[in-house]
Amino acid sequence: AGLHGQPGPQGSAGPQGFPGDTGDGSFVFVRHSQDTTTPQCPQRTAKLQDSGYSFMGIQGDTYAAHQDLGSSGSCLRRFNAMPFLFCDIGNSCHYASRNDYSYWLSTNEPMSASMAPFETRDIPSHLSRCVVCESPTPVFAIHSQSQRVPACPDGYDLLWTGYSFVFTSADGGRGDQQSLQSPGSCLEKYHDRPYFHCKDHSHCNYYPNMMTFYLATLDDYTGFEKPKVRTLKAGTQRQYISRCAVCHANLYKQTANGPSAFFAQVKKL
């Protein structure tokens, strides 16, 4: 056999390969039971964290910091009336030493007739549970501003329905606002007292200055007329609170037009 020759010149690039499979998306959201049972993650979603407690936020040194009820930060693994401490520039930190507050989503457990703070042993029965879930597609809320539960757009699955929750107000007029896009703005149950707050030393209760704001139903309005003053008595409130739905895209039945079809459906709501 003869000698090996020199390597030949590099060949030209081949044709572009076929696109690979699309990877799964990851969008984290929270579901709150508003009772003492652990909620389940909806179909086609996965559980990331076992049961936690529905945390709305804190108030410290007269400043408030709220949690989006649709985000994982609103589902704490452990409960404490004072889940935070503060540190000063003197390199010292202080716990449960001020008149600060924490806010929690509640169950429908009745308050005591005397309106006395809960006993420590009674707090669990007033405390909503939650679960952290993962969806392969974005999760969002839509609001009908009517008594009708809105339908998810074509190609999107319904995760749950509820009532359009906007924000709360308590001490000092400081409130806890929910983005109306977030699943946290669509609470599955209507409660007269959807949250309570705790002070130092586990003094938790529903207080008279606590208010809750919901989107109203506007079935009877054209949109450009003076609102009619009404006072809604117990048992009739649900008729005047907007309904909502939480949706996410179903990758298996998405419409051919994709996002444009979604926005066309939203305009019909």
Share of the chain above pLDDT 70, in %: 87
82: pLDDT strictly greater than 90: no
Residue 20 has, within 13 A of its CA and on its CB side, a CA count of 3
Contact assessment for residue 81 and residue 39, using Cβ atoms and an 8 Å cutoff: no
In whole angstroms, give the CA distance from residue 151 to residue 160.
Answer: 11
Tell me the average pLDDT of the chain: 85
Contact assessment for residue 151 and residue 161, using Cβ atoms and an 8 Å cutoff: no
112: pLDDT strictly greater than 80: no
pLDDT in tens, 197-235: 888 766 888 887 788 899 999 876 666 777 778 888 877
CATH class, 27-82+97-222+236-266 region: mainly beta
In whole angstroms, give the CA distance from residue 4 to residue 211.
Answer: 89
In whole angstroms, give the CA distance from residue 63 to residue 174.
Answer: 8
> Pick from 254, 246, 251: which is nearest to 41 by CA?
246
DSSP 189-245: S--SS-EEEEEGGGEEE--TT-EEEEPBP-TT--SSSPPPP--PPTT-GGGGB-EEE
- The answer to which of 12-21, 65-74, 119-128, 130-139 has the lowest mean pLDDT is 12-21
pLDDT score at 5: 81
Backbone torsion region of residue 147, taken as left when φ is above 0, otherwise alpha when ψ lies between -120 and 50, otherwise beta: alpha
Helix (H, G, I), strand (E, B) or coil at 77: coil
254: pLDDT strictly greater than 80: no
pLDDT score at 95: 83
Q: pTM value?
A: 0.81
pLDDT score at 256: 47
pLDDT score at 266: 46
pLDDT score at 221: 67
127: pLDDT strictly greater than 90: yes
- Res. 261 pLDDT band, cuts 50 70 90: low
Tokens for 101, please give them.
Answer: 């507050």
pLDDT in tens, 34-76: 999 999 999 989 999 989 999 998 887 777 788 999 999 999 9
Phi, psi for residue 87 in degrees, rounded to 5? -120, 140
- The answer to which of 6-10, 151-155, 239-243 has the lowest mean pLDDT is 6-10
